[in-house]
Amino acid sequence: MRSIAEAAGQETLRFYGQPLTVDAKADDSPLTQADLASHRLITARLREAFPEIPVVSEEDTERDASIASAQRFFVVDPLDGTKEFIKQTGSFTVNIGLVENGRPVAGIVHVPVSGVTYGADTNGGAWRAEKDGEPQPIKTCSPAAEPLRIVASRDHAGPEVKALLERFPDAECLSIGSSLKFCLVAEGKADVYLRDVPTMEWDTAAAQAVVEAAGGAVLTHPAQTLLTYGKPEYRNGSLLTVGTLSLADRLGG
């Protein structure tokens, strides 16, 4: 999975900083040649390496809804953070997650610009690797830092995020794009990430595997149950990511 994600990252960089054709998808989110090139590489290589495991990608034009009921399937975001890619901030990722019985059991989050890769196997812990480097274990921060470090989306901060920041006025607010928000929690650089607008399963599966293998949790909000996969249309509701479950209790429902 790591080698496939890193190869896809190199594919995206062929278009980075170049003139782009940006199309609008049905949900008005942007789509570029880089998204499609990464999608084609990942899906082809996953199907070659793991022909028995179906693949769901954000860029599937005719997505097979029946895959949601499969015991095992890959969930792929070929380029997470397309807006960041277009703005050339470097804060975009390639995400490959493996779901088994409704739960993410392994994941790769690769950052093409820096070459950094985050990974997880829930049986073997979470790790971070520099470009061409050996994986180094990462852990969430437990107990949470004081004051809290809250990570919020650059483009998708909703009213509950604003309310959370008002509850903790001394908190440090960190802003970054794509699934790197989850990774900040996973490696102990942030304590909480609240996402109060919907996401899709390909936005979260790989990073959730990393967070949970590092000792944290990705929860539905406000119900605070572990996020599961194979939902109708692969859609998530509001999410709360914490480095330690005791922090979820503190934040309340």
- CA distances (Å), origin 201, targets 23, 97, 155, 250: 22, 9, 18, 26
155 is known to lie in a ligand binding site: no
28 is known to lie in a ligand binding site: no
23 is known to lie in a ligand binding site: no
Dihedral sign of CA atoms 199, 57, 127, 52 in order:
positive
204 is known to lie in a ligand binding site: no
Name residues whose C-beta falls within 8 Å of residue 151's C-beta, 6 or more positions apart in sequence.
173, 174, 175, 176, 181, 184, 185, 190, 192, 193
64 is known to lie in a ligand binding site: no
| Phi (first) and psi of residue 208, to 5 degrees | -60, -40
206, 240 in Cβ contact below 8 A? no
164 is known to lie in a ligand binding site: no
77 is known to lie in a ligand binding site: yes
| Amino acid symbol at 211 | V
Structure tokens at 230: 């194979």
CA pair distance 125, 127, nearest whole angstrom: 7
135, 119 in Cβ contact below 8 A? yes
Residue numbering of the annotated binding site: 58, 77, 79-82, 203
Residue numbering of the annotated binding site for substrate: 58, 79-82, 203
Residue numbering of the annotated binding site for Mg(2+): 58, 77, 79-80, 203
